[in-house]
Amino acid sequence: MISDDAAEALARAEFFDICDEQQRGLLAFAGDRQRFEPDAVLYQAGEVPEGAFVLISGTLKAKPEGVGAGMPYAISEPGSVVSTMALILAKPRPVTISAVTECVALFIPRHAFMKLVQQSPDLAQRAVERIERDLGSYLGALEPVARRMKAGEP
């Protein structure tokens, strides 16, 4: 049986608005509701997560690591998706995700998401458009920094 909070978390999750209600229901069914105690690590920087987490309750901390790592930041909005790209790419993540408070999250396995994408060309197209838009936003946010660096400004 699909838990109400899992289905609700997916309905709130901005990334999963590319899915229709039935597709979100299938992902909620395939998902794994997990509880994390404070200081528990969801995954370490350098690891390859097998999917993404959708926060149901609690607060997580994202700590970027490596050269040029930014400051840690909190994730506390129910429906926040952690590691969206892990739904399609098996690549090491540059961030450690850990629980600040007791947390409940829905883990969506990559294989479940990819199976839906393979079965639905429309969903695949919406996923491509969403990822392109999100990457464009990130790159657009970096544009002023790149201009300053070219100009030799601090």
pTM given for the model: 0.83
Domain extent listing, the chain: 4-120
**Confidence at residue 39, expressed as pLDDT on a 0 to 100 scale:** 97
Instruction: Identify the helix (H) or strand (E) that includes residue 81.
Output: strand 81-82
Number of other residues whose CB lies within 10 A of the CB of residue 23: 19
**What is the CATH architecture assignment of 4-120?**
Sandwich (2.60)
Q: How far is CA 142 from the centre of its chain?
A: 20
CB of 105 closer than 8 Å to CB of 55: yes
- pLDDT at position 6 is 81
User: Tens of pLDDT along 34-83?
Assistant: 999 999 999 999 999 999 999 999 999 999 998 777 899 999 999 999 99
Q: Please tell me the distance from the alpha carbon of residue 32 to that of residue 12, in angstroms, as a whole number.
A: 17
Residue 134: pLDDT over 90: no
